[in-house]
């Protein structure tokens, strides 16, 4: 008996209970153009599923952008985490010694202040480092963008998003001369940052395909 499902039929994506139909994108003089429908919502599961499987093998990605300084951000992030953990670990013994009248109140307050300051600095630095992009890739089909950034623990994390959801630099409002450029998506409130001044564009054609030409 013949299967009711046609071979090669493309699956449909869903966002919540609403059906999502992927909008089309095309090139004009090597620059990606978008339709207004690109602003449609796309669920996180659909974004991961966009890692196109061809012949039961995951599609390969080509590097478009790299930031050499990401390794230093990773080291600083882990050192700050270690420093904060060490400072906080010193607080209970100081409190115990204070209760035993072996240290003064001034030392207790000083140690507590350092621990609070270290925690605040860790949060601030982690907030920034987690949003710095180390690498940007584009799939061979040109449909999926992979972005690599750091986690709170200083480890690498990859996120995948359909190219239709990525805003161009003109839409974001950034200019070429700015130190930090924003990486935004239509369906996400998360903002990541990358730099052309200190980073390297490995493939300018693919970079323009993702972000468009900008001044």
Domain extent listing, the chain:
36-67+135-211, 70-129
Q: Is the pLDDT of residue 195 over 70?
A: yes
d(CA 173, CA 5): 45
Residue 23 has a pLDDT of: 41
Residue 4 has a pLDDT of: 38
Residue of 85, 83, 78 whose CA lies nearest to 154: 78
Of 74 and 4, the one with more pLDDT = 74
Mean pLDDT of 18-44: 42
Per the DSSP assignment, residues forming a β-bridge with 54 are 57
Torsions phi, psi for 104 (to 5 deg): -80, 165
pLDDT band at 199 (very low <50, low <70, confident <90, very high): very high
Residue 215 has a pLDDT of: 55
pLDDT band at 163 (very low <50, low <70, confident <90, very high): very high
Of 179 and 25, the one with more pLDDT = 179
Of 51 and 166, the one with more pLDDT = 166
Classify 67 as helix, strand or coil: coil
Mean pLDDT of 73-83: 89
A 10 A CB-CB count for 81 gives 16
Residue 125 has a pLDDT of: 87
A 10 A CB-CB count for 147 gives 20
Q: Is the pLDDT of residue 43 over 90?
A: no
Torsions phi, psi for 162 (to 5 deg): -60, 145
DSSP 8-state class, residue 36? G
Residue 41 has a pLDDT of: 38
Residue 100 has a pLDDT of: 87
d(CA 5, CA 55): 19
Residue 126 has a pLDDT of: 85
Q: Burial of 77 by CB count in 10 Å (0-12 exposed, 13-18 middle, 19+ buried)?
A: buried
Residue 55 has a pLDDT of: 31
CA atoms within 13 A of residue 125's CA, in its CB half-sphere: 20
Mean predicted lDDT score pLDDT of the chain:
77
A 10 A CB-CB count for 167 gives 20
Residue 173 has a pLDDT of: 84
For residues 66, 40, 213, 129, the Cα torsion angle rounded to the nearest 10 degrees is -30
pLDDT tens digits for 100-156?
888 888 999 998 999 899 888 888 888 899 999 999 999 998 999 999 999 988 899
Residue 32 has a pLDDT of: 53
């Amino acid at each position: 008996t013949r299967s009711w499902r046609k071979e090669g039929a493309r699956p449909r994506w869903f966002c919540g209970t609403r059906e999502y139909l992927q909008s089309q994108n095309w090139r004009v003089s090597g620059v990606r153009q978008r339709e207004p429908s690109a602003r449609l919502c796309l669920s996180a599961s659909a974004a991961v599923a966009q890692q196109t499987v061809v012949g039961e093998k995951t599609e390969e990605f080509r590097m478009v952008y790299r930031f050499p300084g990401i390794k230093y951000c990773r080291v600083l992030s882990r050192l700050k985490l270690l420093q904060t953990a060490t400072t906080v670990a010193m607080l209970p013994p100081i409190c115990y010694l204070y209760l035993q009248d072996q240290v003064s109140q001034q030392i207790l307050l000083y140690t507590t202040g350092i621990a609070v300051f270290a925690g605040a600095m860790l949060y601030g630095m982690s907030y920034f480092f987690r949003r710095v992009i180390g690498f940007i890739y584009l799939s061979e089909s040109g449909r999926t963008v992979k972005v690599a950034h750091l986690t709170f623990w200083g480890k690498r994390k990859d996120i995948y998003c359909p190219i239709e959801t990525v805003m161009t630099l003109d839409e974001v409002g950034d200019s070429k001369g700015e130190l930090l450029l924003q990486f935004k998506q239509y369906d996400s409130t998360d903002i990541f940052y990358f730099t052309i001044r200190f980073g390297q564009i490995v493939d300018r054609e693919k970079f323009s395909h993702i972000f468009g030409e900008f001044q």
